[in-house]
Structure 1
Amino acid sequence: MAEAPDPPDAPALAGQAAVDGLVDLLDLERIEVDIYRGGSPQVRSQRVFGGQVAGQALVAAGRSVEPDRLVHSLHSYFIRAGDPTMPIVYEVDRVRDGRSFSVRRVTAVQRGKAIFTLSASFQLAQDGLDHQSDMPAAPEPTTLPTFTERYRADPRAEHYWRDRPRPIDVRYVDAAPWERDGVGPNDGVSRVWMRADGKLPDDPLLHVCVLTFASDMTLLDAALARQGLANQGTVMMASLDHAMWFERTFRADEWLLYTMKSPSASGGRALATGRFHRQDGTLVCSVVQEGLIRVRG
């Protein structure tokens, strides 16, 4: 008698479905030359997630550039809170195409008003100087609990976030944002392993856009870690601006260590910096963000 096949891996199937949903979210509808339309996921939310609008804007910019020019930097501003119940229109301005670099500016619009702007620069592959900062020590990601496992084990966790499908697999090396009660201030270093929770297509632009989406998920948490504050519904945070430099190639569906710090906070704002390293220690991306942080109660 033939052996019964192994049952399907439900978490893996759920992760791949969530990743496929993210890929669909980043696949914008072309309305006209250099004009695109994107939607938002059907989840409970009062505003559009910043990583979503940044990733979609970068998709729009990249579709106007020759495929042999890869994005190496982006600079963006969050102007207004986006409405997740209505589409977002992305308008691309082809600022310049030089011999080595192409520059694009994208404006995201809802109800006739700009909610977000992004400038991105793309470059032909070139040789040059090569050095990098070392990757900090961290346990292997597969030895750490998943976000869902860690969240479900904590009675303070909100039920909605425990059961929501997540396209990005996040493994906290240090204390998670909701676990910092009584930890006290520290040097503000916050490390997480990240990857898309399933297989992505091979399109290099898509991998950069997925990392752009993921980079906004945990970065401002470094400011809370610096203060020893837990985020249990008493902290309001919003991205104000976001910049990224893509320094070497990577796949967003392979493990990347995201090391974040907050060098300063004042005036209701906090500055946070981050670096992504591949598992082999290669630095692939640097991130800087300033955000609004208000502590209630």
Structure 2
Amino acid sequence: MGVTLFEPPALDPSKAHIENILDLTPVSDIGPDVFTNTRPLWHPPGARGIYGGAAIAQSLAAAQLTVGPEFSPHSMHCYFVLAGDSQLPIIYHVERVRDGRSFATRTVQARQKGRPIFTTTLSFDREGGGGEKKVEHSTRKPDIPLPPANGIVDDRGPFETRRAGILNRTSSQPETKAVRQFIRARGHISAAGSHQAHLSALAYMSDSYFIGTIARVQDIPRFSSPEALKRVLSKLKNPSDLDSETIARALKDLTDQESSEIKAQLMQGSEVMIPKPKREIGMMVSLDHTIYFHNRRGFRADDWLFVEMTSPWAGDGRGLVMQKIWSQDGTLVATCVQEGVVRLKQDSASKPNKL
């Protein structure tokens, strides 16, 4: 079995990179409402398996193919069941749970080798069905300028990010901090993709650095040493990636960014703060992912979106992260929630249970 179930077609130059990556092919031989990834799945530097956003976005794209154009997703509740393998095709099974006048419900199960690796339930509503009189309010977007590019270009990735700092960085209370960044899909999403393509792209990008927020508000660097960086490089899924200077450069940049953040936290003006005991992440794995879509047609995923992530709680080997996403004009586009396993490296005498 190859990376895709069918021979992948050439990339469509009229579409953005992220559209080509998220493209689906019907698998009518298996049954109705069954789809598979048309092209190989991209995964970011350091990833052992598939990027979680790929399963989220392609499940959304598959579900959108089974509802009428008058319906748009307003919520999506996902569970990561098993680790995906970027060297195997994914089969998406959509079930039409309910079709009502105002709402429709779909479940999607993503499978590899017949085993479920990801499952989600999506709810769609008919846009404009709330009537002329409405209850409306929205959290305002912080006034944060777009930071300059860091100089690293990786045209293979379907989206790009720019970090915009950490609010309350020097606070001793992680729950008061907010990690900020800008994100957008590369290229120009085609008119043919319509708003569904922008929604799928948003879902794809919503998993970027999400559960990692906990490590950042806790001041725990992802790569604590050059040796830790080498360990990540050695665990890349595709052997050919080990020869990529682009990936090595991107990882080095991430290490340098995190090191500078930690140094900044140790210095406050001329006063040197006492550093915290050394801690290292032993495991950080997403368990679930929820997206609440707000203004479904009020943004473009290929324009810069502003993201703010906070963690209200962590404990008992798990952590929770909240994410708000705004368009540049201040429209609150989506609110996301993710819980994950977050464990520190332990002494040999006190190792936690395996997943």
Aligned position for 2:189: 200
Q: Structure 1, residues 143-174: CA drift from partner, whole Å, max 9, x if none? A: x133x52xx5xxxxxxxxx7573221211111
Aligned position for 1:241: 288
Amino acid of the residue matched to residue 145 of structure 1?
Answer: P
Q: Does 1:138 align with 2:137?
A: no
Aligned position for 1:275: 324
Amino acid of the residue matched to residue 41 of structure 1?
Answer: W
Give me the whole-angstrom Cα distance separating, in 2, the residues matched to 1:188 and 1:219: 14
Secondary structure class of the residue paired with 1:138 = coil
Give the CA deviation at 1:184.
6.8
Give me the whole-angstrom Cα distance separating, in 2, the residues matched to 1:209 and 1:272: 21
Q: Does 1:27 align with 2:26?
A: no
Amino acid of the residue matched to residue 114 of structure 1?
Answer: P
Give me the whole-angstrom Cα distance separating, in 2, the residues matched to 1:258 and 1:237: 21
CA contact under 8 A between 1:108 and 1:116: conserved in structure 2?
yes
Give me the whole-angstrom Cα distance separating, in 2, the residues matched to 1:42 and 1:258: 21
- Within 5 Å, give how 1:75-94 maps onto structure 2: 75-94=77-96
Aligned position for 1:265: 314
Q: Structure 1, residues 171-228: CA drift from partner, whole Å, max 9, x if none? A: 11115xxxx9x99764230011111121112311111111111010122232122211
- Within 5 Å, give how 1:128-277 maps onto structure 2: 128-139=134-145, 141=146, 144-146=147-149, 148-149=150-151, 163=154, 165-174=156-165, 186=174, 187-202=176-191, 203-232=194-223, 233=228, 235=281, 236-248=283-295, 249=297, 250-277=299-326
Flag as ranges the 4+ runs of structure 1 deviating above 6 A: none
Amino acid of the residue matched to residue 37 of structure 1?
Answer: T
CA contact under 8 A between 1:134 and 1:281: conserved in structure 2?
yes
Give the CA deviation at 1:296.
3.3
Aligned position for 2:42: 41
Q: 2:117 aligns with which of 115, 139, 150?
A: 115
Q: TM-score, normalised by structure 1?
A: 0.81
Matched residues, percent identical? 34
Give the paired residue count. 262
Give the CA deviation at 1:54.
0.6
Q: Structure 1, residues 48-81: CA drift from partner, whole Å, max 9, x if none? A: 1110111011111110000111111100000000
Give me the whole-angstrom Cα distance separating, in 2, the residues matched to 1:183 and 1:283: 27
CA contact under 8 A between 1:189 and 1:225: conserved in structure 2?
no
CA contact under 8 A between 1:185 and 1:225: conserved in structure 2?
no
Consecutive unaligned residues of structure 2, counting only runs of 5 or more, are: 1-11, 229-279, 347-355
**Using a 3 Å threshold, how does the CA distance of structure 1 residues 43 and 217 change in structure 2: closer, same or farther?**
closer
Give me the whole-angstrom Cα distance separating, in 1, the residues matched to 2:309 and 2:69: 31
Secondary structure class of the residue paired with 2:35 = strand
Secondary structure class of the residue paired with 1:206 = helix
CA contact under 8 A between 1:247 and 1:285: conserved in structure 2?
yes
Deviation larger for 232-241 or 72-81:
232-241
Aligned position for 2:7: none
CA contact under 8 A between 1:276 and 1:283: conserved in structure 2?
yes
Aligned position for 1:13: none
**Using a 3 Å threshold, how does the CA distance of structure 1 residues 295 and 84 change in structure 2: closer, same or farther?**
same
Give me the whole-angstrom Cα distance separating, in 1, the residues matched to 2:136 and 2:220: 38
CA contact under 8 A between 2:294 and 2:333: conserved in structure 1?
yes
Consecutive unaligned residues of structure 1, counting only runs of 5 or more, are: 1-15, 153-161
| Cα root mean square deviation, aligned | 2.5
**Using a 3 Å threshold, how does the CA distance of structure 1 residues 42 and 99 change in structure 2: closer, same or farther?**
closer
Q: Which has the larger radius of gyration?
A: 2
Give me the whole-angstrom Cα distance separating, in 1, the residues matched to 2:75 and 2:190: 22
Q: 1:69 aligns with which of 68, 71, 95?
A: 71
Q: TM-score, normalised by structure 2?
A: 0.68
